Chain A
């Protein structure tokens, strides 16, 4: 049997193990990669490989960035910062038609700048904004869609756990990926706002205007964004200026979030313990994904399958963008069934070399696939953000939340198309870095 054929069989077995046994993605990749490696090389070599790879990955300095940024996000989640952000945005735009929904997106954008998690951003904002929107008689078709989709900004706006994992897996600069995510996240937020404005024009009952606030109140409320902005400026600014490594930026972010929130007494001891527990769970899951992908990647590398697929695709007499369209459709469909992080880790060993062979800029390609996979978080049947919001608002039925998210899905698709047509939106800031 040729190594390439073994590679194809390996992928089929992996999918069977994933879907039929329900084995977690990280473990499945490690087990199948181990077996394939043992078949092609030897059991002795495979034993040695898992031992050194697991120790090597777990103890790698570059990976210590993962728990630190996750902890920073959880501390922010438990700290009350999001509430202040929402209040500021609410004071400024709450009196517009759909203003509370716009305020939610604005607060999401700021919160995403200190929290790298899609679900944490959605959960935080759902808890704060949904009761407010209910109070001012917002239609649930607008309010739920806003909190569900606003969460996706968390994966594109740095610091993003998803971008960290892609960076580690594809050996790219995490800093450049972070910088590449800033403008797309702002563009996506803008398109969400546009969606709300259009919806409220067509259906004024969706988002009746809230109470007006005085100019003095507006100015006073600006203090609410100082904390989030200063944390973001220190972390991303420090990275950009080369003062910090990504790990140091994560640690600095954790310390600064603590310094900012401890005096407010919003963060309780239980909140702190919960933040640590959640961080340990999520970062352990992420480490296992990276390790599984590494072991599976070792197997795929000796089959030469990724290179063969890449060479084949590059030699096809069609535009690279036609192949990109197929890749994106796979990500869009895959993201609907598998968690975004799991699906990305699973597919990167095949699609990243392919993207490179097609001549796509790696930072741009990473941002595009992140955007597309994240859409899975707001689409049925595995839309994780939808279930997060459902858990917080049990009285609203799932179908309404899904339908509501669909309005915003159009914005996500338009955003991706704009980024494909104008890749410089992604690349302008990373390219400024020397």
Chain B
């Protein structure tokens, strides 16, 4: 299990750095557009690129955010249960979230495949955007994997880190 946890951590760190680079790109594109617009030369396609870059930023940070337990949760009741009950609740919680994100991965990648097959392009830049949709599916898959590791940790009794 330690190996799986290590893989999850490395994968999420790599995705986080990519997300950071896309965030930097978002700032640069918008900044460039603001400045160029002053000279009457707005950057074409800024709006659509920002949306797609934003999607990668969010999707690639999903797993890391879960590892760091930043997603807002209400643990005030759970904390009052016995350790054994807490363990069962955490296990169910992680299992449900994992199952949900497997469904999401499946559906988003299915949608991406449709976009690929129909050759869907963006309105202004006329570029294909299915790679971004696949990227979101990848982010969701890694989140499902992170939940799987959390699930393993909760059934093995690693309470502290599985909460």
Contact = CB atoms under 8 A, between A and B. Distances in A.
Given A22-B93, A47-B107, A276-B20, A27 B54 contact: no
A22 B89 contact: yes
Q: Considering residues A48, A61, A63, A342, which has the most beta carbons from chain B within 10 angstroms of its beta carbon?
A: A61
Interface string B17-56: 0011001101100110110000000000001101111110
B84 to A, nearest CB: 15
Interface residues of A, number: 56
Given A23-B97, A50-B103, A251-B26, A281 B68 contact: yes
A280 interface: yes
Given A22-B93, A59-B54, A50 B71 contact: no
Q: Is the interface of A mostly helix, strand, loop or mixed?
A: helix
Interface string B128-162: 00001100100010000000000000000000000
Interface string A238-275: 00000010011001101100000000000000000000
Given A30-B100, A247-B50, A341 B72 contact: yes
A283 B106 CA distance: 24
B76 interface: yes
B30 A59 contact: no
A285 interface: yes
A48 B107 contact: yes
B102 to A, nearest CB: 11
B93 A21 contact: yes
A23 B19 CA distance: 25
Contacts, number: 171
A34 B100 contact: yes
A18 B23 CA distance: 31
A288 B63 CA distance: 12
A59 B23 contact: no
A284 B76 contact: no
Contact of A50 (B20, B77, B89, B104): B104
A51 B104 contact: yes
B111 A25 contact: no
A58 B107 contact: no
Given A20-B78, A22-B75, A248-B33, A283 B58 contact: yes
Interface string A1-36: 000000000000000011111111111001100100
A55 B105 CA distance: 10
Q: Place the interface of chain B in its size category.
A: 35 or more
A391 B61 CA distance: 26
Nearest to B140: A54
Given A255-B27, A280-B23, A285-B71, A61 B47 contact: yes
A181 to B, nearest CB: 22
Contacts of B111: 51-52, 55
Contacts of B61: 280-281, 283-284
Given A277-B20, A280-B19, A283-B61, A21 B55 contact: no
Interface string B87-104: 001101100110010011
B65 A284 contact: yes
B2 interface: no
A263 B89 CA distance: 51
B97 A27 contact: yes
B127 interface: no
A23 B147 CA distance: 12
Contacts of A363: none
Nearest to A292: B71
Contact of B72 (A24, A247, A276, A283): A24
Contacts of B163: 22
Interface stretch (A64-72, A146-154, A302-310, A400-408): A64-72
A281 B74 contact: no
Contact of A47 (B30, B51, B103): B103
The 6 A-B pairs of least Cβ separation, nearest first, read: A51-B107, A24-B71, A251-B30, A59-B55, A284-B61, A342-B72
